[in-house]
Amino acid sequence: MLSVIVPTFNEARSINRTLEQVAGLRGRVEVIVVDGGSTDATIEIVRRRRIKVLTAERGRGSQMHAGALVAQGNALLFLHADTQPPPDARERIMEALRDPETVGGNFTVCFDGEGRAARFLTWLYPQLRKLGLCYGDSAIFVRREVYNQIGGFQSFPIFEDLDLVRRLRKRGRIVHLSAVVITSSRRFEDRSFVATFTWWAILQTLYWLGVHPRTLNRLYAPVRSRNEETGARA
């Protein structure tokens, strides 16, 4: 069985569409939504679908780890609330994990919309993958036993995805699937793409230079606040 774990915080605009796509996955699939304290209709929307809802300390790392702790599947798929998986995601994941050397992987990312930011990011992600960078937008999946062995997601407020993948690589192979997930480019809407992307790149560089994610989060706070004011998540 595949356990799909979705962290949410004020995702009323996008969660229904994502859960609709998840409902179309074939085979045995468990869905767990972990909310970080939404004040909009997110939880109500999820419960109408009769999907298990947990609450956890706000932060993708904390929320996804809380979901993983109760998941029953032998494979875990961590799916952002604004990302839609392909219908054959479960089959693709199970096929990849048949190789005992493979501990996890991710999907090809396509950012929605026709804007310059969406087109640029869709081009950029494959280039970043060549550098070994794997982000949560790409729907990271992992063999459950390995996830437990490495201690799962840390409760980092930022870059929890890069930290997890770094530790997974010490245990085995990370594969990239050609199947496409569609994710939102909303974090770059209604604001300067160049400024937002530049700030993201600076934080990324500082992370690899050894600056702790909690320190980086304090630098990131102004950007996060603007995102929340417009209903976007980054």
What does the domain layout of the chain look like in residue ranges? 2-188
- What pTM did the predictor assign? 0.88
pLDDT of 133 reads 85
Region of 170 on the Ramachandran plot (φ > 0 left; ψ -120 to 50 alpha; else beta): alpha
CA angle (31 as vertex; 180, 126 as ends), nearest 5: 20
pLDDT of 221 reads 60
From CA 195, how far away is CA 172, in angstroms rounded? 37
pLDDT of 230 reads 43
Identify the sign of the CA torsion 9, 152, 124, 17.
Answer: negative
pLDDT of 196 reads 75
pLDDT of 185 reads 77
pLDDT tens-place values along the chain, 234 residues long: 999 999 999 999 999 999 999 999 999 999 999 999 999 999 999 999 999 999 999 999 999 999 999 999 999 999 999 999 999 999 999 999 999 999 999 999 999 877 888 888 899 888 888 888 889 999 999 999 999 999 999 998 889 999 999 999 999 999 999 999 999 877 666 556 777 778 888 888 898 888 888 888 887 665 555 545 444 444
Q: Using alpha carbons, list the distances in angstroms from residue 228 to 6, 39, 65, 81.
A: 18, 12, 23, 14
pLDDT of 14 reads 93
- Residues near 18 by Cβ (< 8 Å), separated by ≥ 6? 6, 79, 81, 82, 83, 84
pLDDT of 182 reads 95
Which CATH architecture is the domain 2-188 placed in? Alpha-Beta Complex (3.90)
